[in-house]
Amino acid sequence: MEVIGVDGETEMLKAIFLPFLSHSRLISAVDMARIFAMQGVDVTIITTPANVAVFQSSIDRDSSRGYSIRTHVVKFPEVAGLPEGMESINAATPKDIVSKIFEGVALFKGQFHQILRDMQPDFIVTDMFYPWSVDTAAELGIPRVVYAGGTYMAFCATDSLEQFAPHTKVDSDSQSFFLPGLPHKLEMTRSQILNRGKESENEFSYTLKAVKESEKRSYGSVFKSFYEFDGAYQEHYKTVRGTKTWSVGPVSAWMNQYASNKDERGYAKEEQGWVTWLDSKKEDSVVYVCFGSMTKLPAAQLVEIAHGLEVCGHDFIWVVKKIEESQDDGVRVFLEEFEKRVQGSNRGYVIWGWAPQRAILEHPAIGGVVTHCGMNTVFECVDAALPMVTWPLFAEQFFNEKLLVDVLGIGVPVGSKKWSNWNEFGDEIVKREDIAKAIGLLMGDGQENLERRRKVKALSDAAKKAIQPGGSSYNSLKGLIQELKSFKLQKLNGKLEAVA
Ligand code: UDP
């Protein structure tokens, strides 16, 4: 994107992206930065040594394709008691370390300010969890765009709870209530929401308040969604919050335009046994089971999942994280035996640790997904036209489930009812019969299942159109870049007038 200065000089619109340090927010914000670069913006991504390892190769690839994009690596601030290199938040990060990482993030403010002074970007895109960056941008007179990460639906539902407090008017955690004021009539229980009606302030609620307040003072927010997916909630959000937003996703649809992007994100090429295994399976016959990068499942739940998969009658790929296998020796032995058994019967394939999810979902043999309703996964499923068994656990996932099941009709709920903290092993155990039943409904050929497939296919087609010239996300991104370009021009003109 070239900006013609008043003196006739041309230069690119320069952006700095500051992604958050949790794995999934990091990779989705990096993908967002790459989309801006694909549209001709000069992009620098600020990150730390441990985090850059996750995505440097994809930036190198984009750079070799001719896009103006690079990383700028800075040392993570020193915090007493924080071991060197511990600068990423995921399921394996101990609780006391998480708070120390947050301390480091707060200390980073000064360093970030200096970087902006040195690099003189035209605008910044920073994760919503850096509310202070709105002040840094204001001091330099440049726009701050918020990288929202979540869904409009979840923000709208949270606003509804704050404004109408329906959860305080029921007698128990299991009694249902409606979320007032939303475009659809959506029913929830108190056990599915954060704080469960105990309105005491805590560190996280203070952070969320600061996030909301800083959004009001920002230029606007970018979402990884697309209008055809949740346009009603985008409109509602704009009305209720009175802020500007742009839906520019799904990011996976942009990235999947290059076949070579699908195998990125740190999965060793030689470990691709799953390809051969999936190649031997019929189209749409395999269910993929994965709970994202942050989930901790208790041993008893892993056992139920294993049994549920064995009795569901469908072939499967199950991604088991290190944190889960390490929690007790008994479950590790159980899972190893399970793996041998299902390999022997050719019914299942277990991936330990990190799976190349995007590539797996694109394989024709995959016919459905069991997900915790993390929105990166949801958009990847929608892009790949895969219906989902919804198994929300923490964060805004119970709201996302409402969107998938009740609004869009592309999900089958497994029946989880209890919200838990992302960094705790929840105590709700979903039973094997319920898991097998939900997978049966998802993968079967009943009328409802066909209808779900039809709906998700229509959304998938819409997603692919959205990112093409003239599509909703394409236009939205172009419109935002055009606005930022005008902002820069006005600033340049203003400076010249001041000098004259
Ligand atoms: N992911 C992956 N391999 C894994 C687990 C997750 O590639 O083994 C990717 C997945 O494709 C998605 C992201 O990590 O892009 C997870 O994000 P999501 O929002 O679904 O869940 P979160 O990790 O935030 O709970």
Instruction: Using pLDDT thresholds of 50, 70 and 90, give the confidence band for residue 90.
Output: confident
Probe target for ligand 1 pocket from 325, 377, 423, with the most ligand atoms within 8 Å of CB: 377
Per-residue model confidence (pLDDT) at position 198: 56
Helix axes 329-344, 299-311, angle to 10 degrees: 10
* φ, ψ for residue 171, nearest 5 deg: -85, -20
Ligand 1 centre to CA of 59 (Å) is 19
Burial-class residue 204 by CB neighbours within 10 Å (0-12, 13-18, 19+).
exposed
Residue 165: pLDDT above 60?
yes
Ligand 1 centre to CA of 89 (Å) is 13
Does residue 149 have its Cβ closer than 6 Å to ligand 1? no
pTM for the full model? 0.93
- Per residue in 438-450, pLDDT (tens digit) is 999 999 989 999 9
Q: Whose CA is nearest to atom 2 of ligand 1?
A: 357
Ligand 1 centre to CA of 295 (Å) is 10
Does residue 224 have its Cβ closer than 6 Å to ligand 1? no
Per-residue model confidence (pLDDT) at position 4: 40
Ligand 1 centre to CA of 390 (Å) is 15
Q: What are the residues facing 188 on neighbouring strands?
A: 177
Tokens of 37: 């670069």
Give yes or no for a contact between 447 and 200, defined as CB atoms under 8 angstroms apart. no
Q: Whose CA is nearest to atom 16 of ligand 1?
A: 292
321 compared with 181, residue with greater pLDDT? 181
Does residue 88 have its Cβ closer than 6 Å to ligand 1? no
**349-377: average pLDDT:** 95
Does residue 151 have its Cβ closer than 6 Å to ligand 1? no
Is the backbone peptide bond immediately before 131 cis, with ω within 30 degrees of 0? no
358 CA: nearest ligand 1 atom: 11
Least confident of 89-93, 123-127, 370-374: 89-93
Interface pTM (ipTM) of the complex? 0.99
Q: How far is CA 305 from CA 53, 91, 170, 434, 441, in A?
A: 32, 19, 32, 10, 16
Count of residues in the chain: 500
Probe target for ligand 1 pocket from 89, 254, 376, 421, with the most ligand atoms within 8 Å of CB: 376
* Closest among 394, 397, 399 to 160, alpha carbons compared: 399
Q: Whose CA is nearest to atom 3 of ligand 1?
A: 355
Per-residue model confidence (pLDDT) at position 463: 97
Q: Whose CA is nearest to atom 7 of ligand 1?
A: 357
Does residue 290 have its Cβ closer than 6 Å to ligand 1? yes
- Per residue in 33-81, pLDDT (tens digit) is 999 999 999 999 999 999 999 899 999 999 999 999 999 999 999 999 9
Give yes or no for a contact between 452 and 225, defined as CB atoms under 8 angstroms apart. no
Non-local CB neighbours of 144 within 8 Å, separated by 6+ positions: 123, 124, 125, 126, 133, 134, 136, 137, 138, 218, 219
Per-residue model confidence (pLDDT) at position 421: 82
Q: What does the angle CA 103 – CA 211 – CA 88 come to, to the nearest 5 degrees?
A: 40
Residue 497: pLDDT above 90?
no
Non-local CB neighbours of 379 within 8 Å, separated by 6+ positions: 224, 225, 229, 249, 250, 251, 252, 463
Q: Whose CA is nearest to atom 5 of ligand 1?
A: 292
**Within 10 Å of residue 171's Cβ, how many Cβ atoms?**
7
What is the C-alpha to C-alpha distance for residues 426 and 133, in angstroms, rounded to an integer? 33
- Per residue in 367-417, pLDDT (tens digit) is 999 999 999 999 999 999 999 999 999 999 999 999 999 999 999 999 999
Residue 260: pLDDT above 90?
no
